[in-house]
Chains A and B, each alone.
Chain A
Amino acid sequence: MRNIVNLLFIALLFTGCEKVIDLDYKGNQSRLVIEGNINNEAGPYYVRISKSIGLSESGEYPAIDNAQVMIGDDGGHSETLVPQGGGTYATSFLEGVEGRTYTLTVVVEGQTYTARSMMPHYVPFDSLNVGQVSIGGDIEYQLIPVYTDPMVEGNNYRFVLSKNDKLFNQHMIQNDLLRNGLVNKLRLEMDDDKLDLQPGDRVTLTMQCVDAAVALYYTTLALMGDTGPGGGTTPNNPPGNISNGALGVFSAHTVAVRSVTIP
């Protein structure tokens, strides 16, 4: 709805004004952050462990290099990841296979954190369509990922977007709640003003088939980004799939990539 409200005020010829203000932030409790990914392409797969910092701090995010990190699957395979420095840990032989459930175990300073994620079956990413709408004299581009949702219910898709090789910091999720088993025709919901596509821009979109818990994590982030009329959803730490109060998410997903140049 954000776009509707913005348009409304544009249409009324009262452009809202923006300014950067100073705020007093409440003290932050630094927490462990775990980022784990495993996909259907060849390894190595990485786990990154760091700590959160206060909002107004500008230093590095503290990396955790002394953790024990292990990933296992429901096929009886498991592996202890090797630290690479900078808080990164890598697998060496584990395979990412569709349909398998992976378990991540991290031990840091005597605390154990676990997470489980199921890698959904691969869904082909057929093409990336670009639609055009004229709004208030400007051309706005809509990105429509074309794929055929399988008949089985409960599929979730996460999209990661880069414009001219620069990662776009917004979270985009689609699911089959409304259109199960059909070819997707829905545009990606995002803040178009921030992406600001122009003719000639190269857009690369990665489509990940994710499980429900990972989808909920990113949907929560997406809803918080939608400031909407009067503030939108009250923000909160998204419900992750990692136990013991760690921030972050462990995602087993399939990957498919498409690129397009804006005409």
Chain B
Amino acid sequence: MLRAQSKYTISGTVKQRSSGETLIGASVTVIEKPTVGVITNSYGFYSLSLPKGNYTLLVSYVGYKQELIPVELTSNVMIGVDLSDEVVLEEVVVSSKRNDENLTTATMGTEVLDIQTAAKIPVVFGEKDLVKTIQLLPGVKSSGEGSNGFSVRGGATDQNLILLDEAPVYNASHLLGIFSTFNSDAIKDATIIKGNSPAQFGGRLSSVLDVKMREGNNNKYRVSGGIGLISSRLTVEGPIQKEKSSFIISGRRTYADLFARLSSDFKDIQLYFYDLNAKGNLAINSKNKLYFSGYFGKDVLDVSNFLGSNWGNVTGTLRWNSILSSKLFSNTSFIYSDYDFNVSFKTEGSEVNYNSNIKDVNLKQDFSLYPNSRNTIQFGFNVIHHTITPTKAEGTDIVSDKKGRKALENAVYVSNSYEASDRVKLDYGLRFSFYSILGGDTYHVYQGNALTQSITLAEGGVGKTYYNWEPRLSMNYMLNSTASLKAGYARNTQNLHLMSNSTGGSPTDQWIGNSYNIKPEVADQVSLGISRNFKDNAYELNAETYYKTMRNQIDFRDGADINTVPDIESELLFGKGRAYGLEVLWKKKEGKLTGWIGYTLSKTERKIDGINNGRWYNAKQDRTHDVSVVAVYELSPQWTLSGTFIYTTGNAVTFPTGKYVLNDMVVYQYGNRNADRMPATHRLDLSVTYERPARRKYQSSWSFGLYNVYGRQNPYSISFEENKHNPQKIDAVQSSLFRWVPSVTYNFKF
């Protein structure tokens, strides 16, 4: 007679032995049952259910020594696992956590980047930069040289959900885009999901960039830092309760302007940024843990006494991890986020200040449920209260009656990762999002830019609510042990929109929520992919194609001055978009030479009423070809050589086609929108890192870099001017930014 076997659960947390950092995405498999396996979640937690018996767990994580753990399973047990990273060669590629994870998981369009990878890749000014590294992946395009803005699969720069320990970051750049807000010393890893995100993420059309801060070493105090030509960093970390809890504080400041001011020419210019990351965790007991993480960053730009500006993000996250049972894991987060921008212009006797601001209070509840070894269910909800103040001018004689607009952005979701068979895996889920306009301001309704109605919502009242269902599905079919096919569909919606006249991450950009004119943006993306590994997973080839449609896209009408207009909504135009492309990523993951080659072939277009006579046109971020090559070569344990090469088609732009004279001035005539191309950009960057053999506990390294090795004048902008000698001739004048930028950085750790 058959008897239902009783099952027991093994659960626990996987950590790094030396520091106690939890390991996200570590693989836990069972030797005796090769089909059973899970991956640790964002908090390093895993849970497995098996019938009574004797087993051996295999716990592994790339770059770490794997552990074999015998288990005699007669009841539910908690097994914490510490992995050692001391014996293994340093991995310097974009690492799949399990060597064949690209084959075995259903996730699509996803890359995980560890910070060691970013550290070895040359960047301008030598400041290692996570966002710059992500821009080297196929499907992710930098919005301009030196810019931290990026476009994913034809989306706009505001369509990326950038999370720092779950807190949305509204402006992820410093110094007008040259640096990202992420101090790599404080970052554990970053995951980019290009549209096919699981149902737990939502709120942006194109991608999720999920950045996790390090937790700090819970064994011993460590100090690390770096000194560069224009910036320095310092990080302190250590245990609060030994082996249980820890803290980390990391700060950065640039000082280019201090040197510049030594020259009398620049003595009245201030230009710098600083930022501070702090995180702490506290183990209440073996099942409950509290985390606090905070970020504070500010940019300052002052010129004499006539221009003053500063802008910055503040985020804070308080999280409570709780293992409710061996099969149910809970995370509750309270998140605060504030982005503020100020600029003031002074002339004699008068001053104008422009200010914009967005403040969020955010509650997020996520559960992970492990009912059996074939299913992992995630469900939860998210409530965000937004207070959004679009650009508001104030100053001498100017009183603005613009108010902060309030809104509630909510979502509930459920998803399941289902291992249907040895060959087939399915991730499916549903997200229901609803966005309500809250009272306290007057909303104007426009038809073709003419005011038709004004709606005043009383404080405490609720205005229009927009509802959206967002289905998500991705599946994986293993063809054999070295190849798999993937397919996915996802709908994403976006309720906050960036009003920007520029392509880079300009601080004057202002966010605006849905209103009676602005409807949620909706994107539907289908994608198909194939992955194949070679030579025992040493090489990996991933190819994906996608087709994406976008609704309720926003642009401005001609002549809109978005900083001074009383109601920006009167200046908006609406339409749709489409994007499609092919992305190929070939990685070499092992050996002395590691790195990748990425190639993207893509197209992205918009069709907006009132632009280009209502016909389809290229979006400005449309670039046909993008090639990136990243190589890291370990010459010896001390010396590492690395280089990147990029080639991209120029952005779609509008050049004049003709000219005429009006009131004795030459005026240019234009044809179709964005029918022209900037010249192509290509560039080689190199760097060399020398790691000095450690002296006692003191480790140090030198990095030397050269950006734009062959000094190409890459196009930044093109302007049209009358030739000085022959005014009838119009010259196209191209400006370039960086040629041959050397850098030196000294890093230390003790």
Chain A residues in contact with chain B, CB under 8 A?
Answer: 1, 3-5, 7-14, 16-23, 25-31, 33, 35, 37, 50-56, 58-59, 61, 129, 131, 133-138, 142, 144, 160, 167, 169, 175, 177-179, 182, 185-187, 216-217, 219-221, 223, 227-239, 247-249
Contacts and interface: CB of A to CB of B under 8 A. Distances in A.
Contact of A137 (B264, B566, B679): B264
Contacts of A25: 655-657, 676
Given A31-B669, A37-B663, A55-B668, A8 B266 contact: no
B661 interface: yes
B694 interface: no
Interface string B656-668: 1111111111111
Interface in B234-268: 256-257, 259-260, 264-268
B534 interface: no
20 contacts: A7-B301, A8-B176, A11-B266, A11-B269, A12-B260, A20-B732, A25-B656, A53-B659, A135-B306, A136-B269, A137-B264, A137-B266, A169-B722, A182-B397, A221-B667, A228-B506, A229-B506, A230-B717, A234-B673, A249-B662
Contacts of A1: 502, 506, 508
Contacts of B614: none
B265 A169 contact: no
B670 A237 contact: yes
A30 B657 CA distance: 10
Contact of B306 (A9, A14, A133, A186): A133
B664 A179 contact: no
A263 B457 CA distance: 54
Given A11-B260, A51-B660, A133-B304, A5 B501 contact: no
B398 interface: yes
Contact of A58 (B265, B268, B664, B729): B729
Given A21-B734, A182-B397, A137 B265 contact: yes
B494 to A, nearest CB: 22
Contacts of A237: 669-670
B190 to A, nearest CB: 24
B378 to A, nearest CB: 38
Interface in B342-393: 347-350, 352, 393
Contact of A26 (B675, B716, B719, B726): B675
B398 A178 contact: yes
A231 B654 CA distance: 10
B253 to A, nearest CB: 15
Contact of B502 (A8, A137, A228): A228
B303 interface: yes
B559 A231 contact: no
A34 to B, nearest CB: 9
A37 B396 CA distance: 35
Contact of A231 (B398, B400, B717): B717
Contacts of B350: 185-186
Contact of B718 (A5, A21, A52, A217): A21
A231 to B, nearest CB: 6
A7 B260 CA distance: 12
Interface in B718-739: 718-720, 722, 726, 728-739
B736 A26 contact: no
B601 interface: no
A26 B671 contact: yes
Contact of A17 (B659, B729, B735): B735
A129 B348 contact: yes
Given A8-B301, A30-B658, 7 more contacts: A22-B732, A28-B669, A169-B666, A185-B347, A223-B559, A233-B556, A238-B558
Contact of B664 (A51, A167, A223, A247): A167
B658 A230 contact: no
Contact of A185 (B271, B396, B657): B396
B654 A236 contact: yes
8 closest A-B pairs by CB: A28-B658, A230-B503, A185-B350, A220-B559, A137-B265, A52-B660, A28-B657, A230-B504
Contacts of A231: 502-503, 620, 651, 653, 717
Contacts of B483: none
A14 B741 contact: yes
A227 B503 contact: no
A106 B264 CA distance: 59
A186 B657 contact: no
B301 to A, nearest CB: 7
A133 B309 CA distance: 16
A227 to B, nearest CB: 5
B177 to A, nearest CB: 8
A43 B558 CA distance: 33
Contacts of B736: 16-19
Contact of B347 (A52, A142, A182, A247): A142
Contacts of B271: 8, 11-12
B168 to A, nearest CB: 23
A167 B665 contact: yes
Nearest to B652: A234
Contact of B398 (A4, A12, A136, A179): A179
B711 to A, nearest CB: 10
Contacts of A239: 558-559
B143 interface: yes
B400 to A, nearest CB: 8
Contacts of B654: 234-236
